[in-house]
Amino acid sequence: MGTVIFDNGVHKCIVFDDILGGRGDIQANQFLIMHNGEGLLYDIGGVKIMQPLYKEISKFIPPRRIKTIILSHQDPDTGAGVNYWMQFTNLEIRTFVSNLWVRFIPHLCRSNFAKEFFIGIPDKGMRLNLNGAEIILIPAHFLHSPGNFQLYDTTSKILFSGDLGTSIPPAGGIYREKFSEVADFNEHVKYMEGFHKRYVTSGKICKLWARMTSELDIEMIVPQHGHRYFKGKEMVNRFIDWVSALQCGIDLLDRNDFVIPKE
């Protein structure tokens, strides 16, 4: 089921956070942005959610009106289903992914999908026009993938942050609750820490991202994983400050992490 997180009549942002009902693979959110009857998908997810996702998306927009797919990076949970969309929806559809990954993603597809269906995003990012609405793909390299882009929607002022901001609460309880905003930041940190410390590359990158992001007018930050997002300037700033101070990835590794295994 889709949760509408922004709607001004012409422009809508919808999150699908529970397509498989909490079963199976790691939970991931898929995003639909619509403007004046045209749609864009960000991080469409893996192969096995494609049929139910297609059905849910159809409740908001005819899938043929979706002309753009953007993948934050190369991981299977972001875009392994891309072949399905090309086959069953719209051959005009274009998939944007980092220049680093644009030659890798076609491995997920049938051989007859030509190269022109995939467009590389340059390292510095780019702006796209969604039927009159401006979308900015902002660099978020090494957070966690080396070629990684977040999506800033200038209409809703939502930053879709990809894997940054991922929360992985324990199964059951809070995990199955409705998609909703973070109420208590300090309480929420424990669900984010593990992922960020291991998957995100370094504190240097986090600081660079925080510096860049402070130039944007952000009302919400919505990550690819977890049922929680950051809403309102105060919560958005708390998250950015938390990222800015993170020690993670290579900051935490030392020689003890590089020892030949004995068993």
The contact pattern for Fe ion, residues 75-114, with x = CB under 5 A and - = no contact, is x-x-------------------------------------
Q: Which region, judged by CB under 5 A, interacts with Fe ion, from 57-65, 101-109, 174-182, 224-232? A: 224-232
Nearer Cβ to Fe ion (77/153): 77
Find the shortest distance in angstroms from Cβ 80 to Fe ion. Answer: 11
Find the shortest distance in angstroms from Cβ 78 to Fe ion. Answer: 6
Q: Which region, judged by CB under 5 A, interacts with Fe ion, from 79-87, 88-96, 162-170, 177-185? A: 162-170
**Which residues partner with 6 through β-bridges?**
13
Q: Tell whether the torsion through CA atoms of 116, 122, 125 and 129 is positive or negative.
A: negative
Identify the residue whose tokens are 């922004």: 6
3-state secondary structure 116-150: HHEEEECCCCEEEEECCEEEEEEECCCCCCCCCEE
Query: Strand 118-121 and strand 126-130: pairing?
Result: unpaired
Q: Which region, judged by CB under 5 A, interacts with Fe ion, from 45-53, 85-93, 159-167, 253-261? A: 159-167
Query: Strand 220-222 and strand 228-231: pairing?
Result: antiparallel
Find the shortest distance in angstroms from Cβ 163 to Fe ion. Answer: 4
Find the shortest distance in angstroms from Cβ 178 to Fe ion. Answer: 21
User: Counting contacts by CB under 5 A, is residue 163 touching Fe ion?
Assistant: yes
